[in-house]
A and B are shown apart, each in its own frame.
Chain A
Amino acid sequence: GENVEQHPSTLSVQEGDSAVIKCTYSDSASNYFPWYKQELGKRPQLIIDIRSNVGEKKDQRIAVTLNKTAKHFSLHITETQPEDSAVYFCAASRTYKYIFGTGTRLKVLA
């Protein structure tokens, strides 16, 4: 079946450094790629998304890039801050199905 691979599973960076999380999807019909942030004990919340007709999208310190040919997309966080520490999930979607990655635990060290 369809799946989404997400790497790395854990990531530690120094405050102020950049963090990159990568996802690869298998369903070539996927056309929507959201990223969710989940803080400890809380619900996942959308932080950025990208559609298949766009290669890159940026929102302040967060950016997402999409390579449809290679079927992978990445989350980039610049100038990381302690409050960026959380679990991040990518997802690939077409119509009504959302396939999530297994998550990346990001730790920003002060």
Chain B
Amino acid sequence: EAQVTQNPRYLITVTGKKLTVTCSQNMNHEYMSWYRQDPGLGLRQIYYSMNVEVTDKGDVPEGYKVSRKEKRNFPLILESPSPNQTSLYFCASSPQQGSGNTIYFGEGSWLTVV
């Protein structure tokens, strides 16, 4: 089954404790990205990757890091989480870079930073 898988789905952590949210897709997609969803703000792009070893900042990259060492994986790293990073996070993938290609979203990861 074609899917984008995120882990963990739910996490409560403390300020400053490094964490990683993993994302994996099995569709051989070149393009992957991370979004955060907050009430009233919609979906905002954090980082995206056009292919292996190619990443770039989205609209809200501060406080996040990513890496793309393999085509299927695109982890999101919070080096020192803060309460304002409490949010719902979605990983997404698309067949190739460029507009006009459907984005497939993962199921989402609820992150709470206390």
Task: Please list the residues of chain A having a beta carbon within 8 angstroms of any beta carbon in chain B.
Answer: 1, 6, 9, 30-32, 34, 42-46, 49, 51, 89, 91, 93-103
Knowing A43-B105, A43-B108, say if A100 contacts B44 (CB, 8 Å).
yes
**Residue B103 at the chain A interface, CB threshold 8 Å:** yes
Across the interface, do A43 and B45 meet the contact criterion of CB distance under 8 Å? no
Knowing A95-B97, A95-B98, say if A100 contacts B103 (CB, 8 Å).
no
Across the interface, do A98 and B105 meet the contact criterion of CB distance under 8 Å? no
Complex partner residue of A89 from B42, B97, B98, B106, CB under 8 angstroms: B42
Across the interface, do A49 and B90 meet the contact criterion of CB distance under 8 Å? no
Total contacts A-B at CB 8 Å? 59
Across the interface, do A94 and B105 meet the contact criterion of CB distance under 8 Å? no
- Give Cα A89–Cα B92 distance, bound, in whole angstroms: 15
Across the interface, do B102 and A46 meet the contact criterion of CB distance under 8 Å? yes
Knowing A89-B42, A98-B45, say if A44 contacts B100 (CB, 8 Å).
no
- Give Cα A96–Cα B30 distance, bound, in whole angstroms: 11
Across the interface, do B103 and A102 meet the contact criterion of CB distance under 8 Å? no
Across the interface, do B41 and A102 meet the contact criterion of CB distance under 8 Å? yes
Nearest-neighbour CB distance to chain A for B12, whole angstroms, equals 17
Who on chain A is nearest to B105 by CB? A43
Across the interface, do A32 and B42 meet the contact criterion of CB distance under 8 Å? no
Across the interface, do A34 and B102 meet the contact criterion of CB distance under 8 Å? yes
Nearest-neighbour CB distance to chain A for B13, whole angstroms, equals 21
Interface residues of B in 68-106 (CB under 8 A from A): 90, 97-100, 102-103, 105-106
Knowing A101-B42, A102-B40, say if A31 contacts B100 (CB, 8 Å).
yes
Who on chain A is nearest to B58 by CB? A97
